[in-house]
Chains A and B, each alone.
Chain A
Amino acid sequence: MNVIEIKGITKDYGDFKLDNVSFSIPEGSVCGFIGQNGAGKTTTIKAILDIIKVDSGEVFVFGKDVSRDGAAIREDIGVVFDEMGFHEFMTGKDINIMMKNIYKNWNEEVFFDYLKKFSLPSRKPCGEFSRGMRMKLQIAVALSHNAKLLIMDEPTSGLDPIVRNEMIQIFREYVVEEDHTILLSSHITSDLEKLADEVVFINKGKIFLSGNKDEILEKHGILKCKKDDLKKISEGLIVNYDVESYGVSILVNDIDACRKLYPDMVIEPANLEEIMLYYVR
Chain B
Amino acid sequence: MKGLIIKDFMILRRHQSVMFLYILIVTIILAVMFVLSSKHGNISQVMDGLMADKGFTTSDIQHVIFDEIIIFMLLPFALVLDVSAIILADNKASFSKVSACLPVSLSQRILARFMSIGLLSVIGMAIDLIMVILLSVFTDIAGFMTLLGIMVSLASIMLIMSFLTVMFSFLLGSGKEDYAQFASVFTMVAAAIIFNIKSIVAIFKTSSLDITHYMRFLNNIVDFMAYKSYIMLIVMLVVCVLCYWGSVKIAENKRGII
Residues of A within 8 A of B (CB): 46, 49, 51-53, 70-75, 77, 79, 81, 83, 85-90, 94, 97-104
Check if B78 is an interface residue, CB within 8 A of chain A. Answer: no
| Separation of A86 and B101 alpha carbons in the complex (Å) | 12
Residues in B with CB closer than 8 Å to A89 are 10, 14
Q: A87-B95, A102-B1 are in contact. Are A51 and B6 (CB under 8 A)?
A: no
Cβ-defined contact, B3 with A51, below 8 A: no
Residues in A with CB closer than 8 Å to B252 are 53
Residues in B with CB closer than 8 Å to A81 are 97
| Separation of A231 and B256 alpha carbons in the complex (Å) | 48
Residues of B within 8 A of A (CB): 1-4, 6-7, 10-11, 14, 89-90, 92-105, 108, 252, 255-256
Nearest Cβ distance between residue B87 and chain A, in whole angstroms?
A: 12
Cβ-defined contact, B93 with A86, below 8 A: yes
Cβ-defined contact, A98 with B89, below 8 A: no
| Separation of A89 and B12 alpha carbons in the complex (Å) | 11
Q: A46-B256, A98-B7, A102-B4 are in contact. Are A75 and B98 (CB under 8 A)?
A: no
Cβ-defined contact, A71 with B11, below 8 A: no
Nearest Cβ distance between residue A99 and chain B, in whole angstroms?
A: 6
Cβ-defined contact, A86 with B2, below 8 A: no
Secondary structure call for the B interface: helix
Nearest Cβ distance between residue A36 and chain B, in whole angstroms?
A: 21
Q: Which residue on A lies nearest to B7, using beta carbons?
A: A98
| Separation of A51 and B69 alpha carbons in the complex (Å) | 47
Cβ-defined contact, B3 with A98, below 8 A: yes
Cβ-defined contact, A71 with B105, below 8 A: yes
* 27 A–B contacts, CB within 8 A, in A order: A46-B100, A49-B101, A51-B100, A51-B101, A51-B256, A53-B252, A70-B105, A71-B104, A73-B103, A74-B102, A74-B104, A77-B101, A81-B97, A83-B94, A85-B96, A87-B14, A87-B90, A87-B95, A88-B93, A89-B14, A98-B6, A98-B10, A101-B3, A102-B1, A102-B2, A102-B102, A103-B103
